[in-house]
Structure 1
């Protein structure tokens, strides 16, 4: 009886087979775009299959040196074909894909799965040309492109260069952790912006308010109030969007706590769930009643995020962390709550991050972060009420304010319920 292992194909056969599949996969896509007549493309199905096989055979026969020689030869042939081409398309997509196909054929001899995966990605990119071109030229605005480049620089350039250790007064400032939160806020804001772009006016003011809330809930409430003042028939829908922006605040707060101190997030999980459920339920009431009216309104998505706002957030977080640490050193836990409450008038996340950072560094218990964070959330709600009244008038505010109060009350009720449960469990 023959050995089962002896019936398995050799690594060389597997490499040649994978290389042939790579060439055929990419070549099939290029053949469809090759065209006909004198202006047709220089490479199609057979050329790509042969190029991939050439890469595999050269790697098996002579190693990386021969592969480099074959690749250089293909590059020379591609350059000659490009210079003699009569095509009106000056792009180098097919030419670059052909050179990459040679290299993928060589890669298949050592890492067949990786080569096949890269080939699939390349084929998808080639086939998605119309969609990608339309997205860049017609859908993506110049401001959004600029925001994407800013986000890439903040994530890939600035973040790795920052030191990852406590600095500053009381050792409360970790530059990389602070900038990571800025990147997180920018990413969440971009996600909300993409949601608005995808749904547009059809999504209604409720979805727009929820998405915008990841950028700034207070600013969203002001914008919804202004819309309600100018278009009174949309007051209910605007109130739904404003309320759901508070839900976005709760979700965003949970995200920054998870990034800063998972222990603080666990301590605040029940209050945040209660607050989020209250915001979702109250917003759903007005959404059901006003979504159809809101879908006929024009929505302006604006920028994905604000760079000055992100930088200001970093400065605010740093200042609040230093102030909170200073007040705690002078007045204990009372000073921490006081500092968080005052900072909460401007923003919820900065004092929350400050308290969570103290918990993460072991300066306070995770449970001690609950009170200052809820105090900041409560004071921030007061700011939202003032903005709602001044931007949308009494009719808009009377629709929104009960929901804002309900959200804060639910958060405090959740915290109280946790304390009661812990009391009974420990006694």
Structure 2
């Protein structure tokens, strides 16, 4: 059996060769060539691995510091050449290489993953520069920074516990809704940039439905309202909103399959009916969008609007407060009332709560569909507030038809 230490050294050598091979291609020739290539990076990775193996963290720190000093001298020499901008990419990569070599002695898989990521970032220099300088607009960059701040800065600071009146609010979970709306808006924006309004919005809506159909309807509403101000067609946004309901039906089937298979078998026909109606209604608007000309006034602009996401989260918080107040004052008058209240926030939560109870399939079907219908009602409210009258009058009939189809399927059963 091969000694694990040898495998770790081989991983370190592989990292050095991988990063060094990429740098060797950009090293250049003649007096202006860079100072580090494939051999230098390979030796640096092995030096880091040997230092960690022999002397631990102190010796590894000395090796990394020595590498940094040598990089500083090399950079100073390159900067002294006339009409030459040396940059710092190779120097930073060279300092990182012995660190990765040392990490190979403890966590070789993590070190290898980081090494591959470094090599990919180095190799993707030209397309990344072109994307940031020419494809990415200033507004899109601001939106990306805003999304990163909302996700990586604000979310970890919020308490993840029930609080407020009737303990109806969980600040972290409500802020996750804000992040979801922003993310879905960003997905739709990228899809539109790549595929155009006719193809991008329906696909983005269907994909976003697996994250949150309600949030998708809100995000598509914001885009539809923006299009309506320019007298542009809103069929693409409507198609995306309705197709997100298809994802809801699919997820509901998966949830029931995981929690209570007999209930799923009893609800197979209602779910099929609801899914087919959602597909047909969404397909009608998708076809309408495909036959419409692209919006010539559509600008790259903003990926999302934070105010719209905050309004959406505030509406959800009001629904949660109302549900909690009803439960506090009147109690859960049976499973049906509890499922209906839960459905205003999430159809899957209502289905899980009912399917987890010791009920026969027939008794569980009605509360689950009640939650599904309540969720459609909350989506209708969000569609009206988020997208305006023109958008809502197209989306709400689809939501109603989907809910009616589900109940019709249950009656047939």
Residue deviations 1:81-131 (CA, integer Å, cap 9, x gap): 111214633521100110111112222233333322221111111101111
Stretches of structure 1 lacking an aligned partner (at least 5 in a row): 344-348, 422-427
Match for 2:65 among 72, 75, 81?
Answer: 72
Distance 2:66 2:378 in 1: 70
Distance 2:379 2:9 in 1: 65
Match for 2:186 among 187, 190, 193?
Answer: 190
Q: CA 1:242/1:358 → structure 2, altered by over 3 Å: closer, same or farther?
A: closer
Q: Does 1:278 align with 2:277?
A: yes
> Secondary structure of 2:140's match?
helix
* Contact preservation (8 Å) 2:188, 2:200: no
Q: How does 1:228-247 map to 2 (within 5 A)?
A: 230=231, 238-239=234-235, 241-247=237-243
* Contact preservation (8 Å) 1:203, 1:295: no
Distance 1:158 1:120 in 2: 30
Distance 1:36 1:250 in 2: 58
* Contact preservation (8 Å) 1:193, 1:304: yes
Deviation at 1:42, TM superposition (A): 1.5
Deviation at 1:183, TM superposition (A): 2.1
Residue deviations 1:123-180 (CA, integer Å, cap 9, x gap): 1111011111112111222222222222222222222222222212222222222222
Match for 2:20 among 21, 27, 31?
Answer: 27
* Contact preservation (8 Å) 2:220, 2:387: no
Q: Which stretch has the larger CA shift, 151-160 or 242-251?
A: 242-251
Residue deviations 1:219-254 (CA, integer Å, cap 9, x gap): 445456666xx57xxx7xx54542332223664798
Q: How does 1:269-348 map to 2 (within 5 A)?
A: 274-285=273-284, 287-288=286-287, 291=290, 293-295=292-294, 297=296, 299-330=298-329
Q: Does 1:111 align with 2:80?
A: no
Stretches of structure 2 lacking an aligned partner (at least 5 in a row): 209-214
Distance 2:321 2:312 in 1: 14
- Structure 2 residue aligned with 1:412: 404
Residue deviations 1:25-80 (CA, integer Å, cap 9, x gap): 11110011112233221111121112112222223333332222121111111111
> Secondary structure of 1:34's match?
coil
* Contact preservation (8 Å) 2:46, 2:98: yes
Distance 2:382 2:135 in 1: 36
> Secondary structure of 1:164's match?
coil
Q: How does 1:100-179 map to 2 (within 5 A)?
A: 100-179=96-175
Distance 2:31 2:183 in 1: 48
> Secondary structure of 2:29's match?
coil
Q: CA 1:337/1:250 → structure 2, altered by over 3 Å: closer, same or farther?
A: farther
- Structure 2 residue aligned with 1:94: 90
> Secondary structure of 1:91's match?
coil
* Contact preservation (8 Å) 2:15, 2:112: yes
Q: CA 1:17/1:269 → structure 2, altered by over 3 Å: closer, same or farther?
A: same
Distance 1:252 1:147 in 2: 28
Distance 1:222 1:276 in 2: 27
* Contact preservation (8 Å) 2:158, 2:171: yes
Query: Structure 1 length normalisation: TM-score?
Result: 0.73
Distance 2:35 2:386 in 1: 64
- Structure 2 residue aligned with 1:49: 42
Say how many residue pairs are matched: 390
